[in-house]
Structure 1
Amino acid sequence: MTATESAIRRGSLPTRTARRIVRDFLARGLEPGDALADEATLIERYGVSRGTLREALRLLTFLGAVVVKAGPRGGPRLVTPGPSVVGSALGMVVQFRGATLRTVFESRLAIEPEVAALAAAHRKDADLELLDESVASLCSARRRRGPEFAAHSGRYHLRVAEASHNDVLAAIVPALAVMTTTVPWRFPKGSRDELTDRIATVVAAIRAGDGASARAITHVMIKSVVDGLQKDQPASLESRILWPDVDEVLSGDREA
């Protein structure tokens, strides 16, 4: 153990080293895809043992900030953490707090109308193309049985979050959207047409830069889904959100 390590509790040193590495990302001007350095250089730079460095890199890998590749040109490289990191961590927290599908929808009702308003203010042409694609896909799928319509609906909400060009919301909204898929429920009878029409209206408002309309219609849209579930599927709203289900969906490991 080095002198630096002896001055810090053993259990906290890998985490502290991981923090130092991340702080250095910005100071050194590193971008996703850039190599950090070889192991020997990192050990010398941070004054830690090989074991501590590897634990720090393992933590950063788990958090989605680093990938470590083997081979002569391998080593740790910086990557951009995806929304799945937020979703998995949040899923663990909300399970232990006893969150239900109802509380997830309540969260979406509080957040997503404002996200739509931001999208109306900040959307770009590329965002509008994707939103138009979502509307077309929903129109095509609304008469078909199966999960296709729900998948297109979820993708629409993610695209609105991206169109807001707010990096925090673009990470939070996908996490909430995933949670609503971990509990069995179905769109209330006859609601697919209404939902598709409202989504098309929101997209038109976003295109026109009309944040007030985008906000108001999104609020009505989400609330109508909750009201329909309350009427026809109240037990689903009280179902607990479980981290294993959230993590399986995010990782693609969930069985159909």
Structure 2
Amino acid sequence: MTQDLAGAAGAAGRSLEMRDDGDQPFRVPKTAELVARDLRGKIVRGELKEGDTLPAEGELVERYSVSRPTLREALRILESEALLTVTRGSRGGPRVHPPDPRLAARHFGLVLQNRGTTLADIFGARVLIEPSCVHLVASTARKAAVPVLNQHIEQQRAAIAAKDDGQHSRASARFHRALIELTGNMPLILLMNMLTHIYESHIATAALAANVQRFDTGARQRGLKAHEKLVALIEAGDADGAEAYWRKHLESIDKLIRESFAVDRAIDVLE
């Protein structure tokens, strides 16, 4: 372990003599950053699991051949990244957490806000991506997809019968998320989850502020029938038909939302 850190530090030191395309030399990482990098790698690779507690401070100091202040700085770096929670007491210590997609979503949202992204932009991305996901699901995962999607449809149907608007909205959102998750493509799943989280939180906030009823009973019934038809197309293996139908459906939702909300205003994830 110490040899690995020493080698990394040596390589970083030598890189000071190298220059990139600009005029600035590479920065030499601090020892605490090297320790944090090693521990971060173990967390990301799964060598350290959710809830694991790191060894005692004295053991880590000896293992990495660093001072206690350096080790504590390394732990603070990982704590700032939400990869560790440091608690005090006899049963305390640095406790491990895997990378949290919610933190990535917040940072992603800040970048989008900084660039003036609107709700219309976010839903536009969804209209482009989600139908392609439907095509992939219908082509490669239709047998697994049908029972999952039908379960969400039953939840929607029950919510409509109970006149539970909140439960219906949640069941409908789960149906849309399932279309993405059933692709099995993790980068796509994480990207769409981030976009959907930002979009849905803004729509919910806007609806509350304006006291707008997004969908009446007829609209909810039409949405349910659209979901049922999509599942039928997926079950039949009609990937092209499912993609085209779902794009048209999303475009109709986009039109409805544009009539109800100020979607051309930049998002604000700081609210």
TM-score exceeds 0.5: yes
Note if contact 1:61-1:67 (Cα within 8 Å) is conserved in structure 2: yes
CA contact (8 A) 1:188 1:225 kept: no
The 5 A counterparts of 1:143-182 are 144=163, 146-181=165-200, 182=202
Is 2:262 the partner of 1:244?
no
Counterpart Cα distance in 2 of 1:108 and 1:191: 20
CA shift for structure 1 position 135: 0.8
By how many angstroms is 1:140 displaced? 2.7
Query: CA 1:22–1:141 in 2, change beyond 3 Å: closer, same or farther?
Result: same
Task: Confirm or deny: 8 A CA contact 1:161 1:170 kept in the other structure.
Answer: yes
Q: Find the partner of 1:118 among 125, 136, 150.
A: 136
Residues 123 and 164, structure 1, Cα contact 8 Å, conserved in 2: no
User: Match of 1:37?
Assistant: 55
> Which residues of structure 1 form unaligned runs of 5+?
246-256
* Aligned counterpart in structure 2 of residue 103 of structure 1, from 108, 112, 121: 121
Task: Report the equivalent of 2:151.
Answer: 133
> 2:240 is matched with which residue?
212
Residue of structure 1 aligned with 2:110, choices 89, 92, 100: 92
> Which residue of 1 is the match for residue 20 of structure 2?
none
Q: What's the TM-score once normalised by structure 2's chain length?
A: 0.70
Kept after mapping to 2: 8 A contact 1:154/1:177: no
Tell me how far apart the structure 2 counterparts of residues 15 and 205 of structure 1 sit (CA, whole Å).
Answer: 53
Paired residues, what number?
A: 241
Residue pair 2:61, 2:68 contacting (<8 A) in 1 also: yes
**TM-fit CA distance, 1:11:** 8.8
What's the CA shift for 1:78?
A: 3.7
| 2:210 corresponding residue in structure 1 | none
CA distance in 2, matches of 1:65, 1:118: 34
Identity of aligned residues (%): 29
Superposed displacement of residue 169, structure 1: 2.0
Structure of higher RCO (CA pairs closer than 8 Å, 6+ residues apart): 1
Separation in 2 of the partners of 1:107 and 1:54?
42
TM-score (norm 1): 0.73
d(CA) in 1 for partners of 2:54, 2:239: 42
Q: Deviations over 1:61-81 (max 9, x none)?
A: 454434445555543344333
Inter-partner Cα distance in structure 2 for 1:163 and 1:94: 26
Q: Is the 8 A contact 2:44 2:98 kept in 1?
A: no
Q: CA RMSD in A?
A: 3.7
In structure 1, distance between residues paired with 2:83 and 2:143 = 27
SS of corresponding position for 2:94: strand
Could you tell me how far apart the structure 1 residues matched to 2:38 and 2:245 are? 45
Shift of 1:31: 4.2
Identify unmatched segments of 5+ residues in structure 2. Answer: 1-5, 17-26, 208-212
**Letter of the 2:229 counterpart:** T
Q: Please give the alpha-carbon distance, in whole angstroms, between the structure 1 residues aligned to 2:167 and 2:263.
A: 22
Asked whether the equivalents of residues 44 and 99 of structure 2 are also in contact (C-alpha less than 8 Å), the reply is no
Based on CA coordinates, which of the two structures has the bigger radius of gyration? 2
